[in-house]
Amino acid sequence: MAVFTQINEAQLAEFMAHYDLPEVTGFKGIAAGVQNSNFIVETNNEKYILTIYEDTATGVNPDDLPYFLGLMQHLAAHGIDCPTPIAQKNGALSGQLAGRPAALVSFLSGRGTVTPKPPQCRAVGAALAELHVAGAGFTMRRENRQGPENWRRLFEASQARAAEASPGLADIINQELTRLEAAWPQGLPTGVIHADLFPDNVFFENGAVSGIIDFYFACHDVLAYDLAIMLNAWCFEADVNFNITKARALLAGYQSVRPMSAEEIEALPVLAAGAAMRFLTTRLYDWLNRPEDALVVPKNPVDYLRRLRFHRHVTSAAEYGLES
């Protein structure tokens, strides 16, 4: 989440007039993330999240909004704690604000975590598996536009300036992209994946998962790849050292709901390296092309270079703590 597009009270009032809701009593921007503009909107008895979908290289395609909003409706109806889109008076789930597509969703209680503990990793692993199971009945389909082809495209757009992030980075990315493109697994179980389940996209209350947010990278792809993304996001410390205790808890939680196949387990090291590459290339592009006036904190791509170097030396899922 972030704020790229600023709005005023009059613009917000015009947008909110399309909803059958009480009068707005306040709103404020959320300065986190790199993709859309987000605000907390308050009425006299409720809070909501307002999202303005930005036209950026890594942002949301407005044509995908029916998928994202429909998926959240589907998951919420099947017991997943996620934002529920609020319909306008005419039944539409999205509208226009400041010349861009925008939507209003329910506000979820709970708090995120900066330094997850193993019990939280186990809980969110189980929550991811529950999401995968619930998503099996969703009939709409969206391909993953942040897959290997996009890694190559973003790298080529960033290659000339990659050394600004780290000396020799372009050569490292090119070599590893070639390896991953050749080794990328085929034939694994697929379905709806979140594709961006970082700690700041999960809320907790009393140790339990109380909400999963930010579905704007969700798509149809390899289920185990979603888990590989989480290994990167949840199981490395601030110094980028791998914490096998957290990884063991995460994987055990997932397997308690949806046991992985032998093929998925074998592919996990390559999937984890690919997940590191996905965020290395997108963060490198954003690092080099961030708008000067955006209320957003850019994320250092080098953290994912370190993760990538770790994964390329992993030979078995046992090194992630996966118990046989």
Range of 93's domain?
A: 9-106
Q: Could you tell me if residue 3 is inside a domain?
A: no
**pLDDT at 323 (0 to 100):** 76
In a domain, 4, yes or no: no
Whole-number pLDDT of residue 293:
61
SS3 content of the chain, % helix, strand, coil (to 5): 45, 15, 40
> Is residue 18 one of the residues assigned to a domain?
yes
Same domain assignment for residues 159 and 66: no
Residue 112 inside a domain? The answer is no
Kindly report the pTM of this predicted structure. 0.90
Q: What's 89's domain CATH number? A: 3.30.200.20
Which of 106, 126, 154 marks a domain boundary? 106
HSE, CB side, 13 Å, CA atoms: give it for residue 282: 21
Considering the domain architecture, whether residues 285 and 312 belong to the same structural domain is answered as: yes
Residue 226 has a pLDDT of 98
**CA pseudo-torsion sign 204, 210, 215, 217:** positive
CATH code of 298's domain: 3.90.1200.10
Phi and psi torsions of 28, nearest 5°: -150, 150
Same domain, 34 and 101: yes
**How would you classify the pairing of strands 47-52 and 37-43?**
antiparallel
Q: Is 192 part of a structural domain of the chain?
A: yes
Q: What are phi and psi of 78, to 5 degrees?
A: -110, 25
Q: Which residues contact 5 (CB under 8 A, 6 or more apart)?
A: 37, 52, 54, 98, 100
137 within some domain: yes
pLDDT at 1: 44
Question: CA-CA distance, 174 to 155, in Å (whole number)?
Answer: 8
The SS3 call for residue 2 is: strand
For the chain, report the end-to-end CA distance as a whole number of angstroms.
38
**Co-location of 183 and 46 in the same domain:** no
Same domain, 175 and 32: no
Q: What angle do CA 278, 284, 286 make, to 5 degrees?
A: 100
Provide the token pair at 53.
Answer: 């979908």
Q: 204 pairs with which residues across the strands?
A: 111, 209
Domain boundary among 83, 106, 129: 106
Strands 100-106 and 47-52: antiparallel
CA-angle at 61, arms to 55 and 64, nearest 5°:
155
CA-based radius of gyration for the chain: 20
Distance of CA 126 to the CA centre of its chain: 17
Whole-number pLDDT of residue 60: 75
Q: Do 102 and 132 sit in the same domain of this protein?
A: no
How many residues does this entry show for the chain?
Answer: 324
In a domain, 164, yes or no: yes
Residues 93 and 127 in one domain: no
What is the chain's pLDDT, residue by residue, as a tens digit (324 residues)? 457 788 999 999 999 999 999 999 999 998 765 578 889 999 988 999 999 988 754 467 888 999 999 999 999 999 999 999 999 999 999 999 999 999 999 999 999 999 999 999 999 999 999 999 999 999 999 999 999 999 999 999 999 999 999 999 999 999 999 999 999 999 999 999 999 999 999 999 998 999 999 998 999 999 999 999 999 999 999 999 999 999 999 999 999 999 999 999 999 999 999 999 999 999 999 899 876 665 556 788 999 999 999 999 999 999 999 976
> Residue 2: inside a domain, yes or no?
no
Whether residue 101 sits in one domain with residue 66: yes
The Cα 135–Cα 76 span in angstroms is 10
255 and 142 within one domain = yes
Shared domain check, 194 and 58: no
Contacts of 225 (CB under 8 A, 6+ apart): 193, 195, 271, 274, 275
Instruction: Based on the fold, state whether residues 186 and 311 are members of the same structural domain.
Output: yes
- Model pLDDT, residue 31: 72
Spell out the alpha helix ranges (H) of 39-92: 65-77
Same domain, yes or no, for 168 and 221?
Answer: yes
Cα–Cα dist 182/187, whole Å: 15
Q: Which domain-ending residue is among 106, 137, 154?
A: 106
The number of folded domains in the chain is 2
Q: What are the phi and psi torsion angles at 85 (to 5°)?
A: -60, 140
